[in-house]
Chains A and B, each alone.
Chain A
């Protein structure tokens, strides 16, 4: 799963498979990071908790 695993090979199979995998992971990670950061920002902007 990482280049340092010994069965890793720099071949087309690994490139496509793990390319797709890490790409998907990145999108999910980036998306969630954005949501969480933005939510934190929005919360602070609202003025710390009194949201009624």
Chain B
């Protein structure tokens, strides 16, 4: 039915099966869109946020998708600037994942703000001293970069590529992609960092505040670093999931091993920096403001030291080591464990840097504030996930995303699974 659009030589499931799958996920999207419309038309009273929890589930989701979407810029940086050529076999997919993550992030922001129709004031009336301004500018620009990086892949669709202009455009864009990637890396560095800065500059919040370099608190650098470190984990994880669902091998092991190794070393170095930062904050910064760190992890029913331990050791040190060591890295099961832990780790870090900050009382007579998101918040947070699944399914079906797919699957006629 749609065979004219499917890449030449690739095997895809039957269209009805594909359509049913999309419809199921599409229902989830509709649920999310309904919640989104509620938030837009009735206002943010649809959420369970409150004046203590001005930042809540959405901002966590926002930070988390941007962190895991960091695989796009880091892989691009390695491929185009550091000329790690093997990564060309996964860069398309990394870009698509990045595109999904960043478009989701922008959508979430558009729902999160109280006056969406005035959202553009952040650009128009920019306060250049605000980390959030930096986030908005770099995020939007980098999304433009991702779109530019995504376009050639779209134009390589069998039908689109037949149009000479599109063919040439894709070709030319490939030619100058290094410049775009460099700009993207520059922008990414700043917006990943400034997202970290958002927390680090809040000097009214002893749990969040960090000392730093010039105007940038240490969280600035930690966020960039962690996004570069854990982003590839997410790329690998989504690749693995896609491979499992399609029942096909899509990327050669050597490429996966290489990216896993780079990620491992990045995680390892990041976690050392994070541990140093945590120790300095716990021993110097917070006590200097009158806070013993036990204040941040006690007297409430949820946040305990377990969260610190999980983030740093279980989801930081362990995946780092697993990916550094050749034997564990090349063991598919352990590698999978490592990348899953890694993705959880970075998401947990973003959780802590958004929700735990809001939960902790600062005034001595204030109390812990815990909150449970409303269904509207959950639905709008699930929305990007569903949208991402659809976009991956569509691009996988119609675009030559994995250059090695044909080679890896030419031996036998592949089973027709989606």
| Interaction A to B | yes
Chain B residues, CB < 8 A from A43: 164-165, 168
Contact mask B109-143 → A, CB, 8 Å, 1/0? Answer: 00000000000000111111100011001000100
Please give, as numbers and ranges, the residues of chain A lying within 8 Å of B238 by CB-CB distance.
none
B363 adjacent to chain A (CB < 8 Å): no
Contact call A21/B172, Cβ cutoff below 8 A: no
| Minimum CB–CB distance for A8 against chain B, Å | 9
Set of chain A residues within 8 Å of B137, measured between Cβ atoms: 17, 21
Which chain A positions have C-beta within 8 A of B169? Answer: 35-36, 39
- Whether B128 pairs with A18 at a CB distance below 8 angstroms is yes
- The interface-forming segment of B36-44, B77-85, B175-183, B327-335 is B175-183
Scan residues 1-52 of chain A and give those whose CB is less than 8 A from a CB of chain B: 1, 5, 7, 13-14, 16-18, 20-21, 24-25, 27-28, 31-32, 34-36, 38-40, 42-43, 46, 49, 51-52
Q: In the complex, how many angstroms separate the beta carbon of B84 from the nearest chain A beta carbon?
A: 22
Known: A31-B180, A39-B168. A24 touches B173 (CB 8 A): no
**B165–A40 contact, CB under 8 A?**
yes
Q: Given A32-B148, A43-B168, A24–B125 Cβ distance below 8 Å? A: no
B144 on the interface (CB 8 Å rule)?
A: yes
B295 contacts A by Cβ under 8 Å: no
Minimum C-beta distance from B327 to chain A (A): 43
Complex Cα distance, B186 from A21, in Å, reads: 11
Partner of A5, one of B125, B141, B144, B183: B125
Task: Check A28 against B127 for contact (C-beta < 8 Å).
Answer: no
Q: Is B249 an interface residue, CB under 8 A from the partner?
A: no
A11 to B, closest residue via Cβ? B128
For chain B, what secondary structure do more than half of its interface residues adopt (helix, strand, loop), or is it mixed? helix
Nearest opposing residue in chain A for B144, CB measure: A28
Contact partners of B171 in chain A: CB under 8 A: 39, 42
- Interfacial residues of chain B within 159-195, with CB under 8 A of chain A in the complex: 162-169, 171-173, 175-176, 179-180, 183, 186-187, 190
Q: Are A34 and B180 in contact (CB under 8 A)?
A: no
- Shortest C-beta distance, B334 to chain A (Å), equals 40
List of A residues within 8 angstroms of B127 by Cβ: 7
Known: A35-B176, A39-B168, A51-B167. A28 touches B124 (CB 8 A): no
CB distance from B399 to the nearest CB of A (A): 19
Q: Can you name the residue of chain B whose Cβ is closest to the Cβ of A13?
A: B128
Asked if residues A17 and B134 are in contact (CB atoms below 8 Å), the reply is yes
Which A residues lie at the B interface, using CB under 8 A? Answer: 1, 5, 7, 13-14, 16-18, 20-21, 24-25, 27-28, 31-32, 34-36, 38-40, 42-43, 46, 49, 51-52
Complex A-B, nearest 10 residue pairs according to Cβ-Cβ distance, in ascending order: A39-B169, A39-B168, A42-B168, A17-B128, A51-B164, A35-B172, A43-B165, A43-B164, A38-B172, A13-B128
Please give 18 more A-B residue pairs, beta carbons under 8 A apart, in addition to A39-B165, A42-B171: A1-B123, A1-B124, A5-B124, A7-B126, A13-B128, A27-B179, A28-B148, A28-B183, A31-B148, A35-B172, A35-B175, A38-B168, A38-B172, A39-B172, A40-B165, A40-B168, A42-B168, A51-B162
Could you list 10 A-B pairs, sorted by A, with CB under 8 Å?
A: A1-B125, A17-B128, A17-B133, A21-B137, A24-B183, A24-B186, A28-B141, A28-B145, A39-B172, A46-B164
